[in-house]
Chains A and B, each alone.
Chain A
Amino acid sequence: MNDIDLVRDILDTQVLDREKRALGKVDGVGLELRDGAPPRVAYLEIGAVTAWARLGPRFARWATRLASRWQGEAHPYRFPWSRVRDFGIDIEIDADAERAPPLDLERWLRDKVVKRIPGGQ
């Protein structure tokens, strides 16, 4: 199967890591425009800023400002198509959620908040 529809099948689709843990949604697609050759998909992007920016330029500025106070989200997580291992209802990529930036907030909450609450261990 050679043909893929980016908007229908890739954008806003759930991304999972090797162990089928959630990494986020495909919030954006980086398209490289080339002279004399068809544009190619440079990377898929996961990031809250990326998603909110789709609402308009004002949201983009607001989201970037908020995100720069949270280090991880200021730099959206990007991965090339070559990292995709399987793709259907969800997109499975070759990554480890434990180390991937999109889960910085998840890990922070887990270590600083959840684990401190009884029953959260």
Chain B
Amino acid sequence: MTRTLLVQQFLNGLAIGSVYAIFALGFTLVFSILRIINFAHGAVFTLGAYLTYALTGSQFGINGLLANATLGVRLPFPLALIGGSLLAGLAGVALERVAFRPLRARGADPLLTLVSSLGVAVAMVNVMQYLFGAEIYSFPPRPFGNVPPAVNFGSEATPIPVRSVQVIIFLVSVAVLAVLTYLIHGTRVGKALRAVAEDPVTARLLGINTDRLIVFTFFISSVLGGLAGTLVGLSVSIAGPYFGIAFGLKGLAVIVLGGLGNIPGTMLGGLLIGLAESFVPSQHVAYRDAVPFALLFVVLLVRPYGLLGEAGSDRA
């Protein structure tokens, strides 16, 4: 592998890894306070991408109920990205209302909540298919105006070009991770979140409104999911309504690798899996999708609770 390729792979790995991390943090946040994996998170990811696409004023395909429709507005891409992610966050709030709260109110088995979130995921994915059709969507070219298509990380003599999209994805992800870290460690809400994650009963006794906090967590989690969906869609394309399911699986690998409910672990897991994938030799590239899971399997055999996880963090 040449040095150029090495640097390129590394930077690409960081970019995709950071998207994995922000997507998987959505899982982690919900898990840390509810001890439940939200299986609809992958569907929210897809929804976020479609919403951003719609907000850019692009036209829908011909197969869905919304054939050839466009939204009245035509936002510049960065605004559409923010808008789409916030709307995905609202969808997450609705999701909590429909699939999680009724079961929580009845004190149901956490496994059952997993199934109900799964049911909602199936419904969401198929509603999207019904509305948007199954075709592949691509974001309009040059979403950032006059930014050149590639950034040179080498010298003039030996250029190491990396797609600007990858660089932007990386920067956005890092910014989001920084904001999130501040949110969790520097604000009152974050403190409450950590308290509930530590011990929900005591937190409630201390006057923390857990229901409101859970809604807030679903909002943040789904904003992250929707944002990740748009970023991946931007990097490749929106590959149909089932787009988020495969990505959701990788997200699961990330959170388990890092240790369930562990926020730094999730960030580490995301980056590791992104890097591991990007360094798969090109002749074996067909096996790339198996890499996160092989890595996960091996790590679990050595560390049964993930890289940064601890025993007892699996009260699922």
Q: A and B, one complex?
A: no
Binding site for A on B (CB under 8 A): none
Binding site for B on A (CB under 8 A): none
